[in-house]
Protein backbone atom coordinates (compact mmCIF):
# COMPACT_ATOMS: atom_id res chain seq x y z
CA UNK A 1 0.00 0.00 0.00
CA UNK A 2 1.23 3.49 -0.87
CA UNK A 3 1.76 6.05 1.88
CA UNK A 4 -0.84 8.83 2.22
CA UNK A 5 0.46 12.24 3.29
CA UNK A 6 -2.07 14.34 5.20
CA UNK A 7 -1.88 18.07 5.91
CA UNK A 8 -3.98 18.40 9.05
CA UNK A 9 -4.83 20.66 11.94
CA UNK A 10 -7.66 22.70 10.35
CA UNK A 11 -9.16 21.84 12.83
CA UNK A 12 -7.61 18.89 14.67
CA UNK A 13 -11.14 17.45 15.01
CA UNK A 14 -11.39 17.29 11.23
CA UNK A 15 -7.96 15.67 10.99
CA UNK A 16 -9.04 12.99 13.46
CA UNK A 17 -12.09 12.35 11.27
CA UNK A 18 -9.88 11.89 8.20
CA UNK A 19 -7.64 9.49 10.06
CA UNK A 20 -10.65 7.47 11.28
CA UNK A 21 -12.35 7.29 7.88
CA UNK A 22 -9.20 6.30 6.01
CA UNK A 23 -8.26 3.56 8.42
CA UNK A 24 -11.80 2.20 8.75
CA UNK A 25 -12.00 2.01 4.96
CA UNK A 26 -8.72 0.10 4.73
CA UNK A 27 -9.83 -2.34 7.44
CA UNK A 28 -13.14 -2.90 5.62
CA UNK A 29 -11.35 -3.58 2.35
CA UNK A 30 -8.47 -5.70 3.64
CA UNK A 31 -9.76 -7.07 6.94
CA UNK A 32 -7.76 -8.28 9.91
CA UNK A 33 -5.35 -5.82 11.48
CA UNK A 34 -4.77 -3.78 8.35
CA UNK A 35 -4.64 0.00 8.43
CA UNK A 36 -3.37 2.70 6.08
CA UNK A 37 0.25 3.73 5.75
CA UNK A 38 0.13 7.45 6.42
CA UNK A 39 1.97 10.53 7.56
CA UNK A 40 0.41 13.69 8.96
CA UNK A 41 1.79 17.18 9.45
CA UNK A 42 -0.47 19.16 11.77
CA UNK A 43 -0.42 22.94 11.49
CA UNK A 44 -1.67 25.31 14.20
CA UNK A 45 -5.23 26.24 13.22
CA UNK A 46 -5.08 29.46 15.23
CA UNK A 47 -2.39 30.73 12.89
CA UNK A 48 -4.26 29.64 9.76
CA UNK A 49 -7.56 31.07 11.01
CA UNK A 50 -5.90 34.43 11.68
CA UNK A 51 -4.57 34.43 8.11
CA UNK A 52 -8.05 33.61 6.82
CA UNK A 53 -9.58 36.55 8.68
CA UNK A 54 -6.83 38.84 7.42
CA UNK A 55 -7.18 37.62 3.84
CA UNK A 56 -3.54 36.49 3.88
CA UNK A 57 -4.04 33.57 1.53
CA UNK A 58 -0.45 33.82 0.27
CA UNK A 59 0.84 33.37 3.81
CA UNK A 60 -1.47 30.43 4.44
CA UNK A 61 -0.49 28.88 1.13
CA UNK A 62 3.18 29.14 2.07
CA UNK A 63 2.58 27.36 5.40
CA UNK A 64 0.64 24.53 3.76
CA UNK A 65 3.10 24.17 0.89
CA UNK A 66 5.89 23.78 3.43
CA UNK A 67 3.87 21.09 5.20
CA UNK A 68 3.47 19.25 1.89
CA UNK A 69 7.21 19.36 1.31
CA UNK A 70 7.80 17.83 4.75
CA UNK A 71 5.39 15.02 3.90
CA UNK A 72 7.04 14.34 0.55
CA UNK A 73 10.47 14.22 2.16
CA UNK A 74 9.06 11.84 4.76
CA UNK A 75 8.05 9.36 2.08
CA UNK A 76 4.45 10.26 1.21
CA UNK A 77 3.39 8.97 -2.20
CA UNK A 78 0.49 11.44 -2.43
CA UNK A 79 -0.63 14.57 -0.60
CA UNK A 80 -4.09 15.46 0.69
CA UNK A 81 -5.30 18.58 2.44
CA UNK A 82 -7.67 17.73 5.32
CA UNK A 83 -9.93 20.75 4.89
CA UNK A 84 -12.30 22.15 2.26
CA UNK A 85 -11.63 25.87 2.72
CA UNK A 86 -7.90 25.81 2.25
CA UNK A 87 -8.24 24.15 -1.15
CA UNK A 88 -8.32 27.81 -2.14
CA UNK A 89 -4.51 27.49 -2.13
CA UNK A 90 -4.38 24.00 -3.63
CA UNK A 91 -2.39 25.23 -6.63
CA UNK A 92 0.32 26.53 -4.30
CA UNK A 93 0.58 23.14 -2.56
CA UNK A 94 0.51 21.17 -5.81
CA UNK A 95 3.33 23.27 -7.24
CA UNK A 96 5.54 22.63 -4.20
CA UNK A 97 5.74 18.84 -4.55
CA UNK A 98 6.37 16.21 -7.19
CA UNK A 99 4.00 13.57 -5.84
CA UNK A 100 0.28 13.80 -6.77
CA UNK A 101 -1.98 16.21 -4.90
CA UNK A 102 -5.41 14.59 -4.48
CA UNK A 103 -8.02 17.35 -4.80
CA UNK A 104 -11.08 17.09 -2.57
CA UNK A 105 -13.43 18.90 -4.96
CA UNK A 106 -12.66 16.51 -7.81
CA UNK A 107 -13.36 13.47 -5.61
CA UNK A 108 -16.67 15.00 -4.50
CA UNK A 109 -17.73 16.20 -7.96
CA UNK A 110 -17.13 12.85 -9.60
CA UNK A 111 -19.42 11.10 -7.12
CA UNK A 112 -22.12 13.75 -7.62
CA UNK A 113 -21.88 13.41 -11.40
CA UNK A 114 -22.07 9.64 -11.13
CA UNK A 115 -25.35 10.05 -9.27
CA UNK A 116 -26.74 12.03 -12.19
CA UNK A 117 -27.06 15.22 -10.16
CA UNK A 118 -26.28 18.57 -11.73
CA UNK A 119 -27.48 21.12 -9.15
CA UNK A 120 -26.30 20.91 -5.54
CA UNK A 121 -26.48 23.03 -2.42
CA UNK A 122 -23.28 23.75 -0.51
CA UNK A 123 -22.87 24.10 3.25
CA UNK A 124 -19.36 25.21 4.15
CA UNK A 125 -17.38 28.07 5.65
CA UNK A 126 -18.16 31.54 4.38
CA UNK A 127 -14.88 31.51 2.45
CA UNK A 128 -15.80 28.30 0.60
CA UNK A 129 -19.35 29.42 -0.11
CA UNK A 130 -18.51 32.95 -1.23
CA UNK A 131 -15.19 32.61 -3.04
CA UNK A 132 -15.14 31.21 -6.56
CA UNK A 133 -12.60 28.39 -6.25
CA UNK A 134 -15.04 25.67 -5.14
CA UNK A 135 -17.93 26.40 -7.51
CA UNK A 136 -15.58 26.91 -10.46
CA UNK A 137 -13.92 23.54 -9.86
CA UNK A 138 -17.34 21.90 -9.59
CA UNK A 139 -18.39 23.55 -12.85
CA UNK A 140 -15.58 21.70 -14.65
CA UNK A 141 -17.57 18.55 -13.91
CA UNK A 142 -20.86 20.04 -15.13
CA UNK A 143 -22.20 20.72 -11.64
CA UNK A 144 -23.87 23.96 -10.55
CA UNK A 145 -23.37 24.97 -6.91
CA UNK A 146 -26.03 26.92 -5.01
CA UNK A 147 -25.28 28.52 -1.64
CA UNK A 148 -27.66 29.89 1.01
CA UNK A 149 -28.49 33.60 1.05
CA UNK A 150 -26.30 35.93 3.14
CA UNK A 151 -28.06 35.29 6.45
CA UNK A 152 -27.90 31.54 5.95
CA UNK A 153 -24.23 31.66 4.98
CA UNK A 154 -23.45 33.59 8.15
CA UNK A 155 -25.34 31.06 10.27
CA UNK A 156 -23.55 28.09 8.70
CA UNK A 157 -20.15 29.78 9.06
CA UNK A 158 -20.60 30.91 12.66
CA UNK A 159 -21.72 27.45 13.77
CA UNK A 160 -18.63 25.92 12.18
CA UNK A 161 -16.13 28.34 13.73
CA UNK A 162 -17.92 29.18 16.95
CA UNK A 163 -19.03 25.66 17.83
CA UNK A 164 -17.94 22.71 15.71
CA UNK A 165 -14.23 23.50 15.47
CA UNK A 166 -14.32 23.73 19.27
CA UNK A 167 -16.09 20.39 19.62
CA UNK A 168 -19.44 21.96 20.60
CA UNK A 169 -22.61 20.38 19.14
CA UNK A 170 -26.02 21.98 19.77
CA UNK A 171 -29.52 20.80 18.89
CA UNK A 172 -30.65 24.29 17.86
CA UNK A 173 -27.72 24.52 15.45
CA UNK A 174 -28.75 21.19 13.93
CA UNK A 175 -32.27 22.56 13.49
CA UNK A 176 -30.85 25.68 11.80
CA UNK A 177 -28.88 23.57 9.33
CA UNK A 178 -31.97 21.50 8.56
CA UNK A 179 -33.96 24.65 7.75
CA UNK A 180 -31.21 25.94 5.47
CA UNK A 181 -31.07 22.63 3.61
CA UNK A 182 -34.83 22.67 3.07
CA UNK A 183 -34.50 26.18 1.61
CA UNK A 184 -31.81 24.97 -0.79
CA UNK A 185 -33.99 22.10 -1.96
CA UNK A 186 -36.82 24.57 -2.57
CA UNK A 187 -34.39 26.41 -4.87
CA UNK A 188 -34.06 23.27 -6.97
CA UNK A 189 -31.05 21.56 -5.40
CA UNK A 190 -31.03 17.80 -5.97
CA UNK A 191 -28.34 17.12 -3.41
CA UNK A 192 -26.40 18.79 -0.59
CA UNK A 193 -22.63 18.92 -0.17
CA UNK A 194 -21.36 18.87 3.38
CA UNK A 195 -18.40 20.98 2.35
CA UNK A 196 -16.65 21.35 5.68
CA UNK A 197 -15.20 18.43 7.58
CA UNK A 198 -16.73 19.43 10.92
CA UNK A 199 -20.29 19.58 9.56
CA UNK A 200 -20.73 15.83 9.97
CA UNK A 201 -20.24 16.30 13.71
CA UNK A 202 -23.64 18.05 13.63
CA UNK A 203 -25.74 16.55 10.82
CA UNK A 204 -25.82 13.39 8.72
CA UNK A 205 -27.80 11.95 5.80
CA UNK A 206 -30.98 11.74 7.87
CA UNK A 207 -31.04 15.52 8.33
CA UNK A 208 -31.33 16.27 4.60
CA UNK A 209 -34.40 15.80 2.38
CA UNK A 210 -32.14 14.99 -0.61
CA UNK A 211 -28.95 12.92 -1.04
CA UNK A 212 -25.94 14.15 0.90
CA UNK A 213 -22.37 14.21 -0.39
CA UNK A 214 -19.93 14.26 2.50
CA UNK A 215 -16.80 15.72 0.96
CA UNK A 216 -14.58 14.42 3.75
CA UNK A 217 -15.72 10.82 3.38
CA UNK A 218 -15.53 10.96 -0.42
CA UNK A 219 -12.02 12.44 -0.27
CA UNK A 220 -10.92 9.76 2.19
CA UNK A 221 -12.32 7.01 -0.04
CA UNK A 222 -10.45 8.40 -3.04
CA UNK A 223 -7.20 8.41 -1.05
CA UNK A 224 -7.67 4.76 -0.12
CA UNK A 225 -8.45 3.92 -3.76
CA UNK A 226 -5.18 5.50 -4.88
CA UNK A 227 -3.13 4.07 -2.03
CA UNK A 228 -4.44 0.59 -2.79
CA UNK A 229 -3.97 0.72 -6.57
Q: Residue 147: its pLDDT value, please?
A: 98
Shared domain for 92 and 154, answered yes or no, is: no
Range of the domain at 127: 105-214
Total domains present in the chain = 2
Digit-coded pLDDT (tens) for 68-119: 999 999 999 999 999 999 999 999 999 999 999 999 999 999 999 999 999 9
Digit-coded pLDDT (tens) for 153-200: 999 999 999 999 888 999 999 999 999 999 999 999 999 999 998 899
Digit-coded pLDDT (tens) for 48-72: 999 999 999 999 999 999 999 999 9
Indicate the pTM of the whole model. 0.91
Shared domain for 66 and 154, answered yes or no, is: no
Shared domain for 11 and 96, answered yes or no, is: yes
Shared domain for 110 and 203, answered yes or no, is: yes
d(CA 122, CA 130): 10
Q: Residue 229: its pLDDT value, please?
A: 86
Shared domain for 184 and 210, answered yes or no, is: yes
Shared domain for 35 and 135, answered yes or no, is: no
Shared domain for 15 and 41, answered yes or no, is: yes
d(CA 208, CA 27): 29
d(CA 205, CA 174): 12
Shared domain for 84 and 125, answered yes or no, is: no
CATH number of the CATH domain containing 33: 3.40.50.1860
Q: Per-residue confidence at 226, pLDDT binned at 50, 70, 90?
A: very high
| Residue numbers annotated as active site | 83, 196
Amino acid sequence: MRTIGLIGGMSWESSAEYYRLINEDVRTRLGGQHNARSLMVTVDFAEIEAMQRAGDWDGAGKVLAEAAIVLERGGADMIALCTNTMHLVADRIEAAVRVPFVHLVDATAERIAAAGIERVGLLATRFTMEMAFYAERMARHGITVIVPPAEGRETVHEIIYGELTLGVVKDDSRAAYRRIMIDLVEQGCEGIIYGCTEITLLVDESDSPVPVFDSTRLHAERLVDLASA
